Amino acid sequence: MFLEPGGAAADEDGVYIVYMGAPASSKGSLRDDHTQLLDSLLKRKKDALVHNYKKSFSGFAVLLSAEEANSIAESPGVVSVFPDPVLELHTTRSWDFLKYGTSVMMESNPSSDSNLTDHGSDVIIGIMDSGIWPESESFNDKEMGEIPKKWGGICAKGRDSSTFNCNRKIIGARSYGESLPRDVIGHGTHVASTAAGAEVHGASYYGLASGTARGGAPGSRLAIYDVFSSQNRGRGSTVLAAFDDAIADGVDVLSLSFGSSSILQQEFIKDPIAIGAFHAVQNNITVVCSAGNDGPNPGSVVNSAPWILTVAASTIDRGFESNVVLGNYEVIKGEGINFANIQASPVYPIMYAKSARKSGVAENATRNCRPDSMEQELIKGKIVVCDNEDSLFPYINKQNEVKKLGGIGVILIDDELREVEFNFGAFPTSVISSKDGAKPDIAAPGVNILAAWIGNDTAETPEGKEPPLYNLLSGTSMSSPHVSGIAATVKSRNPEWSPSAIRSAIMTTAAQINNNKAPIMTEKSTAATPYDFGAGEVSTTGPLQPGLVYETTTIDYLNFLCYHGYNTSTIKIMAYTIPHGFTCPKESSIDLISNINYPSISIPYFDEKAGRKVIRTLTNVAGDAKTVYNVSVDAPTGLYVQVVPDNLEFTKFGDKSSYQVSFSIGNPLKKDVFGSITWSNGKYKVRSPFAISSKNGGLAFE
């Protein structure tokens, strides 16, 4: 959860976001300083306004010079001014995998299946993405009741709006340009159906992954916010406009499957997603975001603010083989989806790209099949084996280069890519292993996910086939809506629960073993840690009855901002509701973030001599019967963990009880270490993972 404070300097002309914190009132009236500042600007630059944020928070996006931006940043009531950032998309069977991959004790009523079919139709999931294809059968509104009275949004106003129809499933849709919120990319449709698509039998991608497609909360409503263009990129100013609308419209859950690059992360008051999510959570909306696809390297998680439920991607038990048959009929297992028209017997010559190296070209370039690195006469008519080590040169470029030189197929060697079956189209391609030749909060299926698709996609349609109605995608984009669907289901069962209670229920009931009852592994076949999957693989049933939850309070979030160096006056501008007399603690530093009441414990900069103590508070949500929870600790050798008291008693619903955890070590840490603290009363298990990083160590998760 730790970001390097950065914030790009306002050093060029363009669109800037002026963030001014909370609105004047819950009714969305403009603050006086907001009105005065904007009026002053527009008198000088009549057409400069891009967006005006006035419903759920204060601010605007406007065309400015660098000098003007720096001047406005000094104005009273302004929290931050920053350039409008570019955000990128983080680009079914998965629900059955989740259902059978985890096991928890449940009441006889509700049944173990009820979370998938329970309709909770008053819950509204807001999807910020590339729009939606409303005609997909996944968005039919059969057997759905009337639209909830709390809904205050709109449906596709603009030109040709008669060609875009909402219903009792898609109850609202907004776009932020001249076009309708109709999806032309496919990503938004896929995400929306994964979160809340209706049950559709016989769905498949040209016969692959055949079965029943359904969302995590098939009875929930969908509100669509189209914030992306056809180029797969969106602007932070547009995303803030969507947050402003969605909060006022009345959504219960917001699902975002995009973000900035991990190398371009900004501090929280210059991050549009962190800003929008902060105000959404203050309005009791659960915000679920993908963790990004830049990993699995340390520090590669994005959307890591503590008020966001951040989701990593895991795999499911689905694979699409694209095997390589050698001349001796030995079979090397490969992965990938393609519709190649070639023989299945070994009649084509295979060569390693390195053997076709042009004179004067670096060997590494040839091994990776870079342009102008191979001799055409040697490649022609052959299947070419390419290393896939160069992240700056994607596999599609290697395909194109081999194809241009007359090759008839490509075999990519890549241990990590092999875990994700890409659609390689009609050109024969397979991925094999070299062996053959923090935050996040939670993990959910994100690889080979079948979900609804746009109905007019001819660009990637194999020759002679109709456009697919369903498609297979991979990435944390696909994992985030899984958790959004679960969050919506939990909300439908517990409408009074706060976003932090819902997050806690999801995190503390997660599994650390796969559906084969073995430990979850990384794509490199090493044991996964909380840096890889947070609390573990999300469960569909456990969050409905977690027993106890960790409530992260407004004070916790405000103190978090204090620990990150923001002063009391800035924080008071940001928060609409703030406890009377609130001030930042006298001693505020980033290493104190472990003090907030979060379902996990992250201790960076661990002082090996002094050790560390943290306090957590649990709330009973299991009923009014008296119950006692006992603690168990899983800690690595050399780390000493003491929990006081070692049992907690609850007598009624809503009871709270606190405990203290002391961490100490006998010898200096050589690497980051992990463990967990679990409270159990014999019926419920409430597990909190922890991560300890050395005083000079790297990032820790939260």
Q: Give 270's DSSP letter.
A: G
Token pair for 23: 């609105």
- Which long-range contacts link 574-577 to residues 24+ away (Cβ below 8 Å)? 574/21, 574/22, 574/79, 574/269, 574/278, 575/21, 575/22, 575/282, 576/22, 576/23, 576/26, 576/57, 576/279, 576/282, 577/282
Task: Return the sign of the alpha-carbon dihedral for residues 379, 381, 385, 389.
Answer: positive
Token pair for 546: 């977690």
Three-state secondary structure call for residue 627: strand
Three-state secondary structure call for residue 495: coil
Residue 130 annotated to the active site: no
248/433 Cα distance (integer angstroms):
50
95/116 Cα distance (integer angstroms):
8
Check 90, 187, 279, 564 and give the catalytic one.
187
Q: Give 306's DSSP letter.
A: T
Q: Which alpha helices (DSSP H) does 213-315 contain, by range?
A: 236-249, 272-282
Instruction: Decide if 158 contacts 253 (C-beta within 8 A).
Output: no
How many residues in the chain? Answer: 702
Give DSSP secondary structure letters for 173-205.
EEESSSS-SB-SSSHHHHHHHHHHPPPEEEEEE
Stated as kind and residue range, the H or E segment containing 503 is helix 499-508
Residue 119 annotated to the active site: no
Token pair for 637: 């050798």
Token pair for 420: 């994700």
Residue with tokens 């984009």: 477
Spell out a b/e string for 382-396, using b for 16 or more CB atoms within 10 Å of the CB, else e. Answer: bbbbbbbebeebebe
355/297 Cα distance (integer angstroms):
32
Q: How many CB atoms lie within 10 A of CB 227?
A: 29
Token pair for 113: 């299946």
124/246 Cα distance (integer angstroms):
10
Check 118, 122, 129, 532 and give the catalytic one.
129
615/631 Cα distance (integer angstroms):
14
Give the phi and the psi of residue 632 in degrees, each rounded to 5. -135, 145
Q: Is the peptide bond before 5 cis (omega within 30 degrees of 0)?
A: no
Residue 138 annotated to the active site: no
Work out whether strand 253-256 and strand 286-290 pair parallel, antiparallel, or are unpaired.
parallel
Q: At what angle do helices 93-101 and 476-493 cross, to 10 degrees?
A: 60
Check 322, 477, 539, 600 and give the catalytic one.
477
* Cα R_g (the chain), whole angstroms: 26
The single-letter code of the amino acid at 127 is I
40/94 Cα distance (integer angstroms):
53
Distances (CA, A) of 88 to 85, 438, 572: 10, 20, 31
Token pair for 60: 């605007």
- Catalogue the active-site residues: 129, 187, 477
